[in-house]
Amino acid sequence: MPQGILAVTEQADSALKNISFEVISTGKKLAETTGGPLTAAILGAGVDAMASQAAEYGADRILLADHEGLKDGLADACIQAVAQLVASADPAVVLIGATSLGKDIAARLSARLNAPLAMDCVAVRADGDRIVATRPMYGGKVLADVSLNGSPAIVAIRPRAMEAVAAQGAAGEVETVAVSLDGSTLSLVEKHMETGKIELTEADVVVTGGRGMGGDDFAVVEALAKALGGAVGASRSAVDEGWRPVSDQVGQTGKVVAPNLYIACGVSGAIQHLAGMASSRVVVAINKDPEAPIFSKCDFGIVGDLFDLVPALTAEIEKLKG
């Protein structure tokens, strides 16, 4: 009989990503009502050192899928490993981050196992023997509770929606599972990565530029993001104009972010944009149009030209930092 929770983690540069700790912590909390064990799955090549990181957040058991074929984190290979770990752990619930990779894996796992899936969830709980997940719908206008009937219940968790809480004195039992990967149809040819770039969905601060940037020179926004240790985002208009890569897009058809601080520069505040940033803790809007809809959705609004205001803000922040 399926039992316990499998938390599927994600890693980069030999460390688990923050979303992994959020997923494990959510599993830990859920296990208080569903019963354990809470198992963390770590996929990659040379992942032994990450087991202790998963244990710190309360995983009772850590399954390592250590395989050269998993080193690039391609969904084609990862789904095979995750399916084998699910078969080995036989969990009642699979938790995974609703990141680009996590969503890909979750959807394929659901199809493979004919198991229920709730995507992009902001809460999850047990109601009797059923798992109930809360997910935003209609661009975040509605929060719907959905019941997952079947096993395992797969829940993809929105990054930064749940708190990562370290567990005191935890030490999980580590086991390496031999996974076999059949010839994947995809292989990585080249990876385009900016070193030191903070991932949008994991960033504590996001500074977004919209059509008001007027071109592909995002230097003022980049400088503000850098001063605050944050990431740069873009509205769809800015992406459609070719000013920023699609990976920077925030919104309904882009990424969902929930930073502590979101600064929207030259963004009007269309509903599709709000859908991607409405869970931000503090929103600051800079727009030269006092009637811009974003001003009704922000905590602090500054009316004016972003090309005057953003550099002034950056200079003040640099001054405060000394």
Residue 6 binds ligand FAD (CB under 6 A): no
User: For ligand FAD, which residue of 211, 226, 247, 301 counts as binding (CB under 6 A)?
Assistant: 211
As a residue count, the chain comes to: 322
Residue 233 binds ligand FAD (CB under 6 A): no
Burial class (CB in 10 A: 0-12, 13-18, 19+), 127: exposed
Residue 288 binds ligand FAD (CB under 6 A): yes
User: For ligand FAD, which residue of 237, 279, 280, 314 counts as binding (CB under 6 A)?
Assistant: 237
- Phi and psi (nearest 5°) for 255? -95, 150
- Phi and psi (nearest 5°) for 148? -100, 110
Nearer to ligand FAD, 210 or 230 (CB): 210
Residue 287 binds ligand FAD (CB under 6 A): yes
User: For ligand FAD, which residue of 198, 199, 272, 317 counts as binding (CB under 6 A)?
Assistant: 272
Min CB(248)–ligand FAD separation in Å: 10
CB 158 within 8 A of CB 121: yes
d(CA 287, CA 275) in angstroms, rounded, equals 19
Best CA proximity match to 48, nearest among 216, 174, 182, 159: 174
* Binding region for ligand FAD (CB under 6 A) out of 105-113, 152-160, 185-193, 250-258: 250-258
Residue 230 binds ligand FAD (CB under 6 A): no
Residue 136 binds ligand FAD (CB under 6 A): no
Best CA proximity match to 40, nearest among 80, 91, 76: 91
Residue 201 binds ligand FAD (CB under 6 A): no
Min CB(224)–ligand FAD separation in Å: 13
User: For ligand FAD, which residue of 116, 136, 251, 259 counts as binding (CB under 6 A)?
Assistant: 251
> Which strands sit side by side in the sheet containing 205-209, from one edge to the other?
231-234, 205-209, 261-265, 282-287, 300-303
Q: Which long-range contacts (CB under 8 A, 24 or more apart) does 236-240 make?
A: 236/272, 236/273, 237/210, 237/211, 238/209, 238/210, 238/211, 238/213
Burial class (CB in 10 A: 0-12, 13-18, 19+), 146: middle
User: For ligand FAD, which residue of 28, 158, 160, 273 counts as binding (CB under 6 A)?
Assistant: 273
Residue 170 binds ligand FAD (CB under 6 A): no
Give the count of residues interacting with ligand FAD (CB under 6 A).
28
Min CB(73)–ligand FAD separation in Å: 24
User: For ligand FAD, which residue of 159, 266, 278, 314 counts as binding (CB under 6 A)?
Assistant: 266
Residue 247 binds ligand FAD (CB under 6 A): no
Nearer to ligand FAD, 249 or 279 (CB): 249
Min CB(288)–ligand FAD separation in Å: 4
Nearer to ligand FAD, 69 or 233 (CB): 233
Residue 307 binds ligand FAD (CB under 6 A): yes
Question: Is 37 strand, coil or helix?
Answer: coil
Min CB(109)–ligand FAD separation in Å: 26
d(CA 242, CA 171) in angstroms, rounded, equals 48
How many other C-beta atoms are found inside a 10 Å radius of the C-beta of residue 322? Answer: 4
* Binding region for ligand FAD (CB under 6 A) out of 11-19, 99-107, 165-173, 264-272: 264-272
Question: Is 85 strand, coil or helix?
Answer: helix
- First-last CA distance in the chain: 60
d(CA 31, CA 161) in angstroms, rounded, equals 18
User: By the criterion CB under 6 A, which residues form the site for ligand FAD?
Assistant: 210-212, 235-238, 249-254, 266-268, 270, 272-273, 276, 286-289, 292, 305-307
